[in-house]
Amino acid sequence: MAVTGAGAGSGNGRPAARIPELPTRLAQACRLQALERPPVWLMRQAGRYLPEYRALRERHTLLEICAQPELAVEVTLQPIRRFRPDAAILFADILLPVVPMGVDLEFAAGEGPVLRNGVHEPADVERLKPVDIEDSLAPTLRTLRAVRAELPADIAVIGFAGAPFTLASYLIEGGSTRRFLRTKTFMYRHGAAFDGLMAKLARVTADYLLGQIRSGADAVQLFDSWVGWLSPDDYRDFVLPHTMLVFDAVRETGVPAIHFGVDTGSLLELLRDGGGEVIGLDWRTPLAEGWRRVGYDRGVQGNLDPAALFAPTAEIERRTRAILAEAGGRPGHIFNLGHGVLPETPLDAVQAVIDTVKSWENPE
Ligand code: CP3
């Protein structure tokens, strides 16, 4: 594997040295290189809609799968074997790094994540421990190395992490939320402590992504899934500097980064300023409009509505081609959904999307 300096920079923020390998189609798109068709992969392409994933989940919890590289590698590769997308995404969860920070994490059946010992008052921020990624997240880094070794060179391996705001919301809310009221209350009432929390999370996130890059990630995606619940002013004041720190650290490695959030139609320019060679678009913003606002010096990823996969096959194909037409063959488009594959999604719908993109030819 063409990675040098393994171990260097762990925990101290030094960039990972990386010798460029033969770039994958995904990395080429991130670098705005012209391709005969865009790369395609789907967020949450591994998971519950796959019968082979459900079979494994009958015997193991989500956290067990993440902690055992042989299982996590298997789950990462399941959608690749079935659908042949252009990239595999590491099987892990954005919440894994909060465990070594001292937070109890559990995935309760049907409820999503439950976090105890999180952040309820300013003093709790002090309690959060710094993380030695190579040590605490060793199984995940090992999974990434094994996936990279297993896959052919033209299929990219995408590493990922949760962004500081999205992680902070889970720490403060203790789980999923619709209103982010505890998060915003904390942010407005304890501004300095919130900033301290974001700084700690940004450091861990940057170190985690650098660790994944040293372990062979061809690209990384930062999930700021819930940042669309903030106003532009709050994003600028509370989030932007911390997100910039993460992308600045990744940029030094030369490995491209994708910056994703949901419902970010009012924040696209700010997300671009936060960083990332590629900006994720959900289905609420037409791709052509989103790209114009982001600027053509960046790529865009998206943006088929995950619910469109419940339409008849001909309609799925039509909508997939409509997005390809909106991108117009411009270099820098990565085809994806606007958010993750839903658990009830029919398998042949996923195949239809991937096959439609792979058989498309750039009319340019
Ligand atoms: O295929 C992939 O995308 C790779 C693996 C992956 C998982 N989580 C595994 C997982 C990725 C990239 C994530 C990211 C993640 N996790 C995000 C950001 C992406 C997004 O959807 O915006 C968030 C917010 C989380 C936190 C999280 N993890 C929640 C809210 C839940 C419960 C909701 C749900 O879908 O059940 C999880 C659980 C989780 N993480 C599952 C999977 C496959 C559910 C499967 C299970 O219980 O077996």
Are 107 and 63 in contact by the 8 Å Cβ rule? The answer is: yes
| Shortest-distance atom of ligand 1 to CA 176 | 30
Which residue type, as a one-letter code, is found at position 213? I
Q: What does the pLDDT look like over 326-350, one tens digit per residue?
A: 999 999 999 999 999 999 999 999 9
Q: What does the pLDDT look like over 293-327, one tens digit per residue?
A: 999 999 999 999 999 999 999 999 999 999 999 99
Q: What does the pLDDT look like over 3-61, one tens digit per residue?
A: 333 333 344 444 454 545 578 999 999 999 999 999 999 999 999 999 999 999 999 99
DSSP letter for 60, please: S
Q: Is 97 in the pocket of ligand 1 (CB under 6 A)?
A: no
C-alpha of residue 35 to centroid of ligand 1, in Å: 31
Per-residue pLDDT, 217: 98
Q: What does the pLDDT look like over 246-270, one tens digit per residue?
A: 999 999 999 999 999 999 999 999 9
Per-residue pLDDT, 122: 98
Q: What does the pLDDT look like over 60-104, one tens digit per residue?
A: 999 999 999 999 999 999 999 999 999 999 999 999 999 999 999
Q: Which residues are catalytic?
A: 44, 48, 57, 93, 170
Confidence of residue 108 (pLDDT cuts 50, 70, 90): confident
From 41, 43, 44, 221, mutation site for ligand 1 pocket: most ligand atoms within 8 A of C-beta: 44
6-358: CATH number: 3.20.20.210
Q: Is 140 in the pocket of ligand 1 (CB under 6 A)?
A: no
Residue 342's nearest CA partner among 39, 43, 41, 73 is: 43
Q: Residue 1: is its pLDDT beyond 90?
A: no
What is the sign, positive or negative, of the torsion defined by CA atoms of 64, 200, 13, 276?
A: positive
Per-residue pLDDT, 156: 98
Q: Residue 363: is its pLDDT beyond 80?
A: no
Name the residue with higher pLDDT: 242 or 363. 242
For the chain, which residues make up each domain, given as ranges?
A: 6-358
Q: Is 61 in the pocket of ligand 1 (CB under 6 A)?
A: no
Which whole-number Å values give the CA distances from 314 to 175, 240, 322, 337, 353, in the listed order? 38, 41, 12, 17, 10
Q: What does the pLDDT look like over 140-172, one tens digit per residue?
A: 999 999 999 999 999 999 999 999 999 999 999
Summarize the confidence of residues 201-219 as an average pLDDT.
98
C-alpha of residue 93 to centroid of ligand 1, in Å: 6
Strands 278-280 and 257-260: parallel
The whole-model pTM stands at 0.94
Rounded CA gap, 103 and 126, in Å?
Answer: 13
